[in-house]
Structure 1
Amino acid sequence: MDRGNYNTVYEDPNFLELEPDNSMELSIAEPAQKVSSLEFDEQLASAQNQLKELRKQEEEIEKQKAELEHLRQMQNSFNRGKVEMTDNLQHAITLLERERLDAEQRILQYTRAQSIFNRTLEEVSSLNPDDTDRTELHSQLEAASNVIDDAREEYVRTLKHLDSLNSSDELSDNEHKSNIKVSPKSQTNFTYWFRSGFAFSLPLIVFATVAYLAYRFLLN
């Protein structure tokens, strides 16, 4: 073989090496990047949906918690109110029963006092010296004065008894004033005015009786 005709191309060591084709690598990488970006977007969307769902569940839990707290407060308020009203009503029933019994006793005492006053009034009203002679005027006046004195004593004694009943009622009211609402204005004892009226009228009655007897005596 003629070395003069030897092709130097075959002696080039880089003859069989190929140049890298970057365009092919880019064409392969681009679809891979697109797939990776799509998966990331899907994962991000899924995570956001899960976060929204968790927030929704959290809001629902908070709502249920608030409802349970409200129910607990209502239950506690109901229990306190039930205990309070049960105690108040039981105490009020006991007080009313005692007041009813006391009222019955007062009615009996008032009825008795009324009967005494009616009898005494009849005795005082029966004093009629129209037919009294001059010789009997002194004795009739003395007897009438005794009747008046007895009426006065009976009247005062009965009123004292009624006052004692009212005093007992006032003490009872003071003991339970924290449980029973009473008017802040004090009321005047009715027996005071009753006694005062009778005390004012009694001298006039006696004077009128004596004057009438004296007048009848002078006429005779």
Structure 2
Amino acid sequence: MAAPGEHTHHIKIRSTQMEMPSGSTGIRDEDYDRKLKAAQDELDRIQLQREELERKKNELEELTSRKRHFLTQQVELTEKLTSSLTMIDRGLYEMRQESEDLEQCRSCFAAHLDKLQKINPESWTRDNLSEKLEKSSMALDIAADEYDQAAAHFQNGRSGTIFGRPSKRNRQGKRTGPTSEFMLNLRNGFAFNLPIVALGGLALVIYLLK
């Protein structure tokens, strides 16, 4: 019961003011879900970015390793090719040199063969037997000497099997001269013309002695 002289005020609160709207809770949930999804998307983006960086890192390491391997092979193969080209050039030079020597040797041998085949002892008479025998023996000795010198010159080369083993001594019992001297004479044409010079000199001596 209210005291005399006091006024009693009644506050009326609407029921709507005491109750939370049902829609506000749904909005907060949606906002939370949206932020959670955004955060998850960011994490996914960062993870993809990290995986991409890792992939590029591995790819770069693989390319670097392949590059080092290529450089190693490049250096090794360059050295091999350079060495091989040097050996090939040297071999080609020696082959050309030997080919030239063989050509000149062939000409010399062909001249000797032609002279020897023209010698016919059956046609010698008693009067010219000594002269013919001396000339023919000299031609034979010169051809034999040059054959042995050529065999010695080529015995260590590719054409060594053509001539066989050179003789230790020639028909006069003399040792064959240096092979380099033989080839020098051969290149200068001396070996080719030696039989003609020798026979011409012998004929001159015989003529003067008569």
Query: TM-score w.r.t. structure 2 length?
Result: 0.55
Please tell me whether residue 155 in structure 1 is matched to residue 147 in structure 2: yes
Counterpart residue type for residue 83 of structure 1: V
Q: Relative to structure 1, is the Cα distance of residues 142 and 129 closer, same or farther in structure 2, using a 3 angstrom cutoff?
A: same
- Give the deviation of 1:24 after TM superposition: 6.8
Go from structure 1 to structure 2 and tell me whether the alpha carbon gap of 1:135 and 1:195 turns closer, same or farther (over 3 Å shift). Answer: farther
> Which residue matches 1:184?
none
CA RMSD of aligned residues (A): 3.9
1:22–1:48 Cα change, 3 Å: same
Higher helix share: 1
Q: In structure 1, what residue type is equivalent to 2:80?
A: N
- Aligned with 2:103 (options 99, 102, 111): 111
Q: Deviations over 1:52-88 (max 9, x none)?
A: 2112212322332243234323432443343334333
Instruction: Give 3-state SS (helix, strand or coil) of 1:133's partner.
Output: coil
AA at the equivalent of 2:47: R
Q: Does 1:191 align with 2:183?
A: no
Q: Kindly, what percent of the aligned residue pairs are identical?
A: 24
Query: C-alpha separation between the residues in 1 aligned to 2:94 and 2:136?
Result: 38
Q: How many angstroms apart in 1 are the aligned matches of 2:64 and 2:103?
A: 57
CA contact (8 A) 2:155 2:161 kept: no
Q: Are the structure 2 counterparts of residues 101 and 190 from structure 1 closer, same or farther at C-alpha, using a change threshold of 3 Å?
A: closer
| Distance in 2 between residues matched to 1:24 and 1:31, nearest whole Å | 15
Distance between the aligned counterparts of 1:91 and 1:195, measured in 2?
Answer: 33
Equivalent residue number for residue 96 of structure 1:
88
How far did residue 92 of structure 1 move?
3.2
Q: Deviations over 1:22-64 (max 9, x none)?
A: 9975x32855543432222112111121122112212322332
Displacement of 1:151: 2.8
| 2:169 alignment partner in structure 1 | none
Aligned to 1:34: 26
Query: The residue matched to 1:61 in structure 2 has which SS?
Result: helix
Residue deviations 1:148-204, cap 9 Å, x none?
Answer: 44433321221111114x1xxxxxxxxxxxxxxxxxxxxxx65335438xxxxxxxx
33-42 or 155-164: which moved more?
33-42
1:120: which partner in 2?
A: 112
Q: Which amino acid aligns with 1:191?
A: G
Q: Are the counterparts in 1 of residues 124 and 132 from structure 2 also a CA contact under 8 Å? A: yes
Local SS of the residue matching 1:151: helix
Aligned length: 160
Corresponding position of 1:82: 74
CA distance in 1, matches of 2:95, 2:162: 22
Greater RCO, CA 8 A, separation 6+: 1
SS of the residue corresponding to residue 119 of structure 2 reads: coil
Q: Which residue of 1 aligns with 2:63?
A: 71
Aligned residues of 2:155 and 2:164 also touching (Cα < 8 A): no
The amino acid that maps onto 1:111 is: E
1:57 pairs, out of 41, 49, 53, with: 49
